[in-house]
Amino acid sequence: MAGGKNGRILIVDDEQNALRVLSAILKEEGYTVREAMDYSGAVSVVTRDDIDVVITDMKMPDRDGMQLFDYISENHPDIPVIFLTAYGTVDSAVHAITQGAFYYFIKPPDYAKLKGILARALEQRLLKREIESLKSRLGIDEQEGRIIGKATELVKIFETINAVKDSISSVLICGETGTGKELIARSLHYQSTRKRKPFVAVNCAAMPSGLLESELFGYEKGAFTGATARRIGRFEEAADGTVFLDEIGELELQLQAKLLRVLQEKEIERLGSNRKVPVNFRLISSTNRDLAQEIKLGQFREDLYYRINVVNIKVPPLRERKDDIPLLTAEFVKEYCARERKSLQVSSEVMDILQGYEWPGNIRQLRNIIERAAVLARGKTITVRDLPDELRIHTVRKARADSIVRPLREVELEAVRAALLEVKGNKSRAAELLGISRKALYKRLKEIC
């Protein structure tokens, strides 16, 4: 724990004497103490220092302790807050407890009890830190995830996310399957002022239209066979948060019309009811389709397209950002090594193959291949034998294609290596694959060696 043998405490009180007394008591206990006499000073300390617990007065000259609590809850939610209050502000302190404050004391506090409560607050703070540290080591990120890469197109996406994260405007994320569109949607939400509100993701391609409608709008008891109780829909669940409609191009026209009305009117009707329910959410959508072409074909509503496409983010396929493959590979190896309790590195041959492949399944395919390799790897290094057949076969085919423009001897030797790789060292099968005799193969093997 940072600071002192027991932690770093911020005391906020506009009464100089009370501040001095409590500070001296806590310093005797081994705490490192920071002091502030008002809201502004407290915010400055919390921003600058690694504070473990805040003890604050309720009434202060500029803004009160409740406003300070709101600031800490919003910006440093893992810091416990303990209130010191006079009798006249007990109701406010009790209210703060219901909002998540750790404890409150009436002035002057029972210092022995305060020390005990403070110790408990520090234990909670330490436990939260250990949990976050464990998540970090295991590669766990339940909300945001990490967008990894330094390609020019990706830098532009980072800039767009930063520019529009707090806007209420709809965002449409376009890109091939597996490029990380949901990760970008989550980044938009969890970097925004809505981050403490729900992020509700719905895969429009994963369920039939009728089921999807009830999932989005909810339904009343008896609305249809099997509706034995009221069900709140995803639009209502996302109150003041974000709805992410993944693969919105899969919506049928009838449901597109209903979605357009929701976006226009900011209200819904549950299935089986004619009562209008107000909803408030930000819409982020994604698609792997060319929606402009879908409009021409009459399969997507033009008016809905303009509603959802206020801000457009285009995600490049992995084959167009191959310089990011080593970064992504390193991250995935780290993640799966933690899970499998292994320590692995990637051979240069494997990295060459990964960077030479076209990746039709994009980042999702790369992740799956690295997971497979991490599970299968028998030593300390991920080697070519740990890769699936499609990558090894691609290497052979690429070697054959390259023979058109490369020196014959170089192409022959590389083709021999690739053939042996594909058949796992079986020389008879390698010779058959290359269309040469075993004698000719052995001759070329001598040249390699």
The tens-digit pLDDT sequence of the chain (449 residues) is 444 456 889 999 988 888 899 999 999 888 899 999 988 889 888 888 888 899 998 888 778 888 898 888 877 888 899 988 876 566 666 666 766 788 888 888 888 888 888 988 888 787 776 655 554 444 334 445 568 888 888 889 999 999 999 999 999 999 999 999 999 999 999 999 998 899 999 999 888 877 899 889 998 888 887 777 788 899 999 999 999 999 999 999 999 999 999 999 999 999 988 899 999 999 999 999 999 999 999 999 999 999 999 999 999 999 999 999 999 999 999 999 998 899 999 998 899 899 989 999 999 999 999 999 999 998 899 998 898 877 877 665 555 555 455 565 666 777 777 777 777 778 888 777 777 777 777 777 776 55
> Cα dist. 229→175, 224, 238, 272 in Å?
39, 11, 20, 11
Report the pLDDT value the prediction gives residue 4, as an integer from 0 to 100: 43
177 with 82, same domain: the answer is: no
Q: Which residue range is the domain that position 334 belongs to?
A: 320-448
Characterize the bridge pairing of strands 81-85 and 53-57: parallel
Q: Would you say 199 and 242 are in contact if contact means Cβ atoms under 8 Å apart?
A: yes
324 with 312, same domain: the answer is: no
Q: Domain tally for the chain?
A: 3
State whether the Cα torsion 352-353-359-361 is positive or negative.
negative
Q: Domain for residue 85, yes or no?
A: yes
Report the pLDDT value the prediction gives residue 374, as an integer from 0 to 100: 93
Report the pLDDT value the prediction gives residue 92, as an integer from 0 to 100: 67
Alpha helices in 341-388 (DSSP H): 348-356, 362-376
* CATH number of 200's domain: 3.40.50.300
266 with 210, same domain: the answer is: yes
Q: Domain for residue 48, yes or no?
A: yes
Q: Domain for residue 2, yes or no?
A: no
Q: Domain for residue 146, yes or no?
A: no
- If we measure between CA atoms, which residue out of 337, 145, 153, 334 comes closest to residue 244? 145
